[in-house]
Each structure stands twice: as structure tokens, then as C-alpha cells.
């Protein structure tokens, strides 16, 4: 990759320190994507884990239409087999590694059969460049077709106390097929940390300002969930974020949340969630209380909703 396309960000050294501190405290699974930046998160992660690469698992994602030379986002999605192979070569360089432990299709491409996607990933697996693969926010038919073509290791969808959509069909399907589940936004885009309240107004460019669940009309109703989480945090001598993460991990042993952070303090709090134990009785009580709160509004803005639960076209 030509240096003229490298970017320099003021927080890079601190982010590398956060990654290495996380590893020192037992974190061994790191999640990235070409679209984050684009490219910058992969570069930072590659540098951050370089001293202990063989002791961690790196996950990243393809699927958006991004020029691998310039980093320019182009319209739509792109999971054409030839593009996937080009993307993976660039990822390996950015991540400073010879293999990607877990490669996700970030969003289903409605123009490319999932069998063709699986075929490209299998070719890369045969070359030792990919060890496992997964999907994110896919339709259930697509998941089953993908798994039949090439066994899927993990699904990454939004899931938290704030958004429990996967419980209806996705989680049962994963359990049936033996697929792990990785919740993105396990803290409900910071909502479950208690950072957002009835007076919160989001800055221009903050996507949460476009989500109707955080609108001035809906937010006051949805704060009942924060009240519940705060009560449990006091009860378990924990932070609200730790309760939200512990709740996820208590649902199934094969659920692995990936909270993101840019601050060491928050990273240490997140790691502390592992020590929070919910007895079967406590989990049943908490589940019932969460289910009784009806969240108002959608989880994604209308412009993004089209990329969720998309089914791949049939094999040509």
C-alpha cells in the first residue's frame, strides 16, 4: 500500500496502548472491518497486536464497495469473488499478518449469490489466508445457504437489552446449526451505559440522532430500561455497562459480545463484566423485567434499514 494513502490520526498511539493493555488483561479477540476508517482501524489493530499476533484472534469484515487503493467509498455493496480476493490481500497487509482468523461478510450483497461468496472464501481458506468465516445482518435463508456451502463459524448482528431482535429467529437458527453469535453494539450505542438521558441532543453527524428510538418523542419512554439496568447495577455492585454485558453472556455460552472503547477506563470496566454472575433465578427475573419494557422506535435509520436482513439472490 503506497504511503500516500496512509492517514495519521492523533489518537493512534493511545489506541495502540488500549489494545495492548486489553491483551495484558486477558482480551484475545479483536474485531475490525475495512469500512472502519476506512482502513484505519485495521492498520491500528495490526500494529497494536503485532507483538503477540499468534496469541490473539483477529476478525474483520468485507462487503462495502471501497477502493482498496484510495480508501474511497463507492456506491453500494461489493461481494464479487474477485473483489473479495483483492480486499483480503489488502487486509493482510494492513493487519500485518499472514492470515485472518475470522472473516465476515459485513452486509449481504443483493447482486451476488451467497454460494459465490462462499466459493471465494473457500479458495482463500485453501490458501491459508482465512481460517473461518461468518456473516452479519443477513437473512435467515441466506445464512442456511451459506452454511450448507461452507460451514459458518459466527454471525455478527446487533443484540443487546435495547435491541432483542435476534432472539426470535437468528439465535435459534445459530443454536440449531452450531454457529457462534457475536453481538455488535452490546451496549446499545452507549445507551445502556447511562450516558444518554432525556436531555441528550446528538451532534450533527452522530448517526444516533437519526434513530427514532432516540428521538425526543421516544427517548423518555425508553429510559425505563436504563432505570432497570441501574437498579441491577446497584444490586450487583457493578456498573450499568457491566450488567448489560453480563446479561448477554448469560444468555448462551456461545454468545461473545464485542464492546468497543477508546478509553482505558471503559475497557477495564468492560472486562470486569466477566466477573458478574447471574444465577438462573436472577437471569429469569431480569429477562422478565427487560421483556416487560417495550422499546419505542427503530434501531436503524431508514437509509440503513435496507442493508439489514437482506437475502442473497439465487445461484445463477
DSSP E strands in 82-126: the ranges are 100-105
Average pLDDT, the chain: 93
**Mean pLDDT confidence for 48-58:** 98
- Rounded CA gap, 222 and 290, in Å? 11
142 Cα distance to chain centroid: 19
Q: Which DSSP symbol is given to 312?
A: P
- Rounded CA gap, 170 and 251, in Å? 14
Classify strands 57-62 and 29-31 as parallel, antiparallel or unpaired. parallel
**Residue 186's closest CA among 98, 245, 271, 120?**
245
Q: For residue 153, how many other CB atoms are within 10 A of its CB?
A: 20
Q: Is the pLDDT of residue 8 over 80?
A: no
DSSP E strands in the chain: the ranges are 29-31, 57-62, 64-66, 73-77, 100-105, 130-136, 154-158, 180-184
C-alpha cell at 50: 503485532
CB crowding 94-131: b at 16 or more within 10 Å, else e: bbbbebbbbbbbbbbbbebbbbbbbebbeebbeeebbe
- Rounded CA gap, 176 and 54, in Å? 31
Looking at 3.30.70.20, 3.40.50.1970, 3.40.5.90, 3.20.20.100, the CATH number of the domain 1-152 comes to 3.20.20.100
C-alpha cell at 227: 432505570
The pLDDT value recorded for residue 7 is 44
DSSP secondary structure string for all residues of 272-284: HGGG----HHHHH
C-alpha cell at 178: 452450531
pTM over 0.75: yes
- Rounded CA gap, 76 and 64, in Å? 7
pLDDT tens for each residue of 190-249: 999 998 888 888 888 888 888 899 999 999 999 999 999 999 999 999 999 999 999 999
Q: Which DSSP symbol is given to 129?
A: S
Q: Catalytic: 36?
A: yes
Q: Among residues of the chain, what percentage have pLDDT more than 90?
A: 84
Looking at domain 188-253+261-311, its CATH superfamily turns out to be NADP-dependent oxidoreductase domain (3.20.20.100)
List the catalytic residue out of 5, 11, 36, 104.
Answer: 36
What's the distance, Cα to Cα, between the start and end of the chain in Å? 35
Residue ranges per domain, the chain? 1-152, 188-253+261-311
The pLDDT value recorded for residue 6 is 40
- Quickly state the pLDDT bin for 82 (edges 50, 70, 90): very high
Q: Is the pLDDT of residue 1 over 70?
A: no
pLDDT tens for each residue of 240-278: 999 999 999 999 999 999 999 989 999 999 999 999 999
Amino acid at each position: 500500500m503506497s504511503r500516500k494513502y496512509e492517514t495519521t490520526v492523533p489518537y493512534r498511539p493511545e489506541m495502540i496502548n488500549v489494545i495492548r493493555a486489553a491483551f495484558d488483561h486477558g482480551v484475545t479477540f479483536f474485531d475490525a472491518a475495512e469500512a472502519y476508517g476506512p482502513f484505519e482501524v485495521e492498520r491500528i489493530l495490526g500494529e497494536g497486536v503485532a507483538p503477540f499476533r499468534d496469541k490473539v484472534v483477529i476478525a474483520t469484515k468485507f462487503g462495502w464497495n471501497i477502493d482498496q487503493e484510495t480508501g474511497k467509498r463507492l456506491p453500494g455493496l461489493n461481494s464479487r469473488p474477485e473483489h473479495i480476493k483483492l480486499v483480503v490481500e489488502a487486509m493482510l497487509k494492513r493487519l500485518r499478518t499472514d492470515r485472518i482468523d475470522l472473516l465476515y461478510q459485513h452486509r449481504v450483497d443483493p447482486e451476488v449469490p451467497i454460494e459465490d461468496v462462499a466459493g471465494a472464501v473457500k479458495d482463500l481458506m485453501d490458501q491459508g489466508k482465512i481460517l473461518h468465516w461468518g456473516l452479519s445482518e443477513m437473512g435467515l435463508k441466506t445464512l442456511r445457504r451459506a452454511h450448507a456451502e461452507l460451514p459458518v463459524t459466527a454471525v455478527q448482528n446487533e443484540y443487546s437489552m435495547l435491541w432483542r431482535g435476534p432472539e426470535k429467529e437468528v439465535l435459534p437458527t445459530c443454536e440449531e446449526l452450531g454457529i457462534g453469535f457475536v453481538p455488535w453494539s452490546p451496549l446499545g450505542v452507549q445507551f445502556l451505559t447511562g450516558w444518554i438521558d432525556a436531555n441528550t441532543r446528538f451532534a450533527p453527524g452522530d448517526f444516533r440522532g437519526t434513530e427514532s428510538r432516540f428521538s425526543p418523542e421516544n427517548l423518555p419512554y425508553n429510559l425505563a430500561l436504563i432505570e432497570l439496568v441501574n437498579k441491577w447495577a446497584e444490586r450487583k455492585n457493578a456498573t450499568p455497562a457491566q450488567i448489560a454485558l453480563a446479561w448477554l453472556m448469560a444468555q448462551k455460552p456461545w454468545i461473545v459480545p464485542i464492546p468497543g472503547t477508546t478509553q482505558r477506563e471503559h475497557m477495564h470496566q468492560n472486562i470486569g463484566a466477566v466477573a458478574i454472575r447471574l444465577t438462573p433465578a436472577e437471569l429469569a427475573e431480569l429477562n422478565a423485567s427487560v421483556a416487560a419494557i417495550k422499546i419505542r422506535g427503530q434501531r436503524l435509520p431508514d437509509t440503513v434499514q435496507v442493508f439489514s436482513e437482506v437475502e442473497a439472490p439465487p445461484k445463477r
